Amino acid sequence: MSFPQNRQRRLRRTPALRRLTSEIRLDPADFVLPLFVKEGLSEPVPVSAMPGVVQHSLGSLRRAAAEAAEAGVAGVILFGIPEHKDAVGSQADDPDGIVQMALRDLSAEVGSALVLMADLCLCEYTDHGHCGPLTETGADVTVDNDRTLERYASVAVAQAAAGAHVVAPSGMQDGQVAAIRAALDAAHHQDVAICAYAAKFASAFYGPFREAAESTPSFGDRRSYQMDPANAREALREVQLDLDEGADLVMVKPALPYLDIVRQVRDAVEVPVVAYQVSGELAMIEAAAANGWLERERAMLETLTSIRRAGADTVITYWATEAARLLRATEAARLLR
């Protein structure tokens, strides 16, 4: 049937018809909120390149997590910034390291309402800003893959002991998921899940995050361990390897410039697929909105819808709490009309 019998506009005529025919419905439970917690802070400190995002003190972290839970957000993912950094990132697996302290706090306060995830990497903890201890071969300085695995294993156990429900290795070292699974199981944390940053691209869109996490590499970049933005088949291979090694969830990161990867991963696997809407994705929309060039809330919800439509079950987004509140307010307003 074609025009004029068919009219596609019939089903777009009213808000109620559009609601009925909507294929993707955003829900607060789709979202995970990233939170930065910095050792030694008594007040939160704004991150200039990420409007609305702060480095938290332990006190403000608790409030932010409680607000997220209240808004219906599914979980939080924690990033820690230690006072003291060194070559191997010792603070990352210290039982009194900042993320471990934060996890213990949040377990007690919101541990039953929120999934507590911990980003598992060393770049915030090393004095050189790379994701693991370094090794030198000739003139070449790079992250020592196998020594890094031992460090990640120990960090995973520390995070699990402090109350993480999910650890999320983001360092893109080969074998990291297997090393972490073995260490967790040996320490009787067999119920702690692994969300693998499986397809993590070496992206310019991480720029603002490095200010928030104070993790800018002091030399070079991460291209020798993160993925080339040109590679889709390789992303599927990374995902498959992480599943073989025991990942419970797999992540694609960034989200918006990699929606094709989200879709391909969704079609290839049965486990939950997570997409990370990264700092630069937030920054570009916030900057455009601040200039009056975009409608901020519409753009926010449109990107989240796109990421879900591409196949992500869960979206990690700095807008989690706000988007959750917006969705609830919109639904409530509809009922009152």
Which residue in 121, 126, 187, 129 sits closest to 149, CA to CA?
Answer: 121
Report in angstroms how near the CB of residue 308 gets to ligand PBG at its nearest. Answer: 18
Closest CB 271 distance from ligand PBG, rounded Å:
20
Among 125, 206, 258, 319, binds ligand PBG (CB under 6 A): 206
If one asks whether residue 123 binds ligand PBG (CB under 6 A), the answer comes out as yes
Nearer to ligand PBG, 56 or 222 (CB): 222
Among 279, 303, 314, 317, interactor with ligand PBG by CB under 6 A: 279
Provide the β-strand partners of residue 75.
32, 115
Q: Is 126 in the site for ligand PBG (CB under 6 A)?
A: no
Marked catalytic residue, from 130, 151, 189, 200: 200
Q: Does 252 bind ligand PBG (CB under 6 A)?
A: no
**Does residue number 238 form part of the binding site for ligand PBG (CB under 6 A)?**
no
324, 73 Cβ separation under 8 angstroms: yes
Q: Which residue in 36, 152, 209, 258 binds ligand PBG (CB under 6 A)? A: 209
Nearest residue to ligand PBG by CB is 209
- Residue 17 phi/psi, 5-degree rounding, is -65, -40
Place of tokens 């910095």: 38
85 catalytically annotated: no
Q: Is the Cβ of residue 71 or residue 121 nearer to ligand PBG in the bound state?
A: 121
Q: What does the angle CA 266 – CA 272 – CA 276 come to, to the nearest 5 degrees?
A: 80
- Whole-number minimum distance, CB 217 to ligand PBG, in Å? 8
Residue 119 binds ligand PBG (CB under 6 A): yes
Cβ 115 to ligand PBG shortest distance, Å = 17
Using CB under 6 A, pick the residue from 92, 121, 149, 164 that binds ligand PBG. Answer: 121
**Do the beta carbons of residue 175 and residue 245 sit within 8 Å?**
yes
Give me the phi and psi of 124, to 5 degrees please.
Answer: -80, -15
Q: In whole angstroms, how far apart are CA 278 and each of 7, 12, 227, 303?
A: 39, 32, 16, 12
Do residues 170 and 148 touch, judged by C-beta distance below 8 A? Answer: no
Site for ligand PBG in 159-178 (CB under 6 A): 170-171
Q: Which of 130, 151, 189, 253 is catalytic?
A: 253
Minimum distance of ligand PBG from residue 320's CB (angstroms):
13
Amino acid at site 53: V
Give the one residue of 32, 73, 131, 252 binding ligand PBG; rule: CB under 6 A.
131
Q: Are strands 140-143 and 134-137 parallel, antiparallel or unpaired?
A: antiparallel
For 160, what's the count of Cα atoms within 13 Å in the CB-facing half-sphere?
Answer: 24
Binding residue count for ligand PBG, defined by CB under 6 A = 12
Q: Three-class SS of residue 197? A: strand
Angle between helices 145-162 and 176-186 (to 10 degrees): 40
Q: How many Å apart are CA 195 and CA 186, to the nearest integer?
A: 19
Q: How far apart are CA 222 and CA 217, in angstroms?
A: 8
38 is catalytic: no
Work out how close the CB of 312 gets to ligand PBG at its nearest, in angstroms, rounded to a whole number: 15
**Which one, 78 or 162, has the nearer CB to ligand PBG?**
78
Catalytically active residues, by annotation: 200, 253
Residues in the site for ligand PBG, rule: CB under 6 A? 119, 121, 123, 131, 170-171, 206, 209-210, 222, 278-279
